[in-house]
Structure 1
Amino acid sequence: MFWLDSFNNVSGGVKKVTNEKKLKHLEFILGIINRQAQNSFMLKSWTVTIVAALFAFANRSDEMDSHFLWIAIIPVFFFWLLDGYFLRQERLFRHLYNHVRTFEENQIDFSMRTDHLNVSESKWIKVCLSNTLLYFYGPLFIVIIVAMVWLG
């Protein structure tokens, strides 16, 4: 069946080029991007859960106990930093994805290294202070601090 093999390899008189390695590499990178986004979502949900629980424990009697609110600042701060790390990793892998998609098939080495990418916008502290995280964790800090001041 020579004509069938020729038909499968030729499309409009031009040989079909397969990018199986490239597609698989991009698929691996997308998996990591999705995992980082999922981690970020889970951190946000845990942050809200912990802060709500600490507010509930603080309101255990007729008056609120501000000690629990002081404790609430600790997980919010550390989850903010950890969320910044995950968002930074997600951005680095997005840049890696854009970098790899320009490769030819023979250049694909399945490397997941992001340290060779010169991405100035993905500095960790800059990502922690980005609007994405600032608009979520900032109001939590403000609510906790206002509650502590209000309780005196």
Structure 2
Amino acid sequence: MTALSEGSDAGVGGREPLPPDRIKHLEFIQATITRMGTNSFLVKGWALTLAAGLLALSASRMSWHLAAVGVLPLLCFWYLDCFFLRQERAFRRLYDDARRPGSTVEPLSMNVASYLGAMPWREVWVTPTLLLFYSPLLLADLALVVLAF
């Protein structure tokens, strides 16, 4: 008989299946990872909408004041997106540790403090996805400040 035909107790690759509480824990972690990704997407949408609106308004009036006002919210959105990305990465590491057989992760624990300590803000702040999204918006805003001044 093959491993697949031995019954539902046989795990993938001959490994023991995970207990139900461990599977539920992984589902909780995955739901949190999904929520962090969704939050990041929403922050990018709000940042783009606000930046485009302020850039259009300040360009039509050639007002460096309006363009300068747009820098602060853009930096705040960048920080918030960085926060969600950092949290998502920490939960991914928790997931990786919790899925391993013989894991020492406390059952149903969602504490990621130890993972956040190993992940500096600077490392997350300058990830290519965040840089490619926020830096052109910030540069356009700063260019408009200089041109309108």
**TM-score relative to the length of structure 1:** 0.80
Q: Is the 8 A contact 1:37 1:90 kept in 2?
A: yes
Seen in structure 2, the aligned counterparts of structure 1 residues 14 and 50 have a Cα distance that, compared at 3 Å, is: closer
Shift of 1:103: 3.7
How far apart in 2 are the matches of 1:67 and 1:15?
67
How far apart in 1 are the matches of 2:93 and 2:68?
39
Q: 1:147 aligns with which of 139, 144, 148?
A: 144
Q: Is the 8 A contact 1:69 1:144 kept in 2?
A: yes
Q: Which residue of 2 aligns with 1:34?
A: 34
Shift of 1:65: 1.3
Seen in structure 2, the aligned counterparts of structure 1 residues 125 and 104 have a Cα distance that, compared at 3 Å, is: same
Amino acid at match of 1:140: L
Amino acid at match of 2:44: K
Query: Pairwise mapping of residues 61-80 of structure 1 onto structure 2 (< 5 A)?
Result: 63-80=61-78
Q: Is the 8 A contact 1:92 1:119 kept in 2?
A: no
- 5+ residue gaps, structure 1, are 1-10
Query: Pairwise mapping of residues 35-54 of structure 1 onto structure 2 (< 5 A)?
Result: 35-54=35-54
Deviation track 1:36-90 (CA, whole Å, cap 9, x = no partner) reads 0111111110001111111232245xx4211110010011111111111110000
Q: Percent identity?
A: 35
- 5+ residue gaps, structure 2, are 11-16
- The secondary structure found in structure 2 opposite 1:70 is helix
CA RMSD of aligned residues (A): 2.5
Deviation track 1:108-150 (CA, whole Å, cap 9, x = no partner) reads 6100111233763x21222011112111111111111111212
Amino acid at match of 2:135: G
Amino acid at match of 1:124: W
Q: How many residues align?
A: 139
Are 2:113 and 1:115 aligned? yes
Q: Is the 8 A contact 1:40 1:86 kept in 2?
A: yes
- The secondary structure found in structure 2 opposite 1:109 is coil
How far apart in 1 are the matches of 2:111 and 2:84?
16
**TM-score relative to the length of structure 2:** 0.81
Seen in structure 2, the aligned counterparts of structure 1 residues 12 and 131 have a Cα distance that, compared at 3 Å, is: same
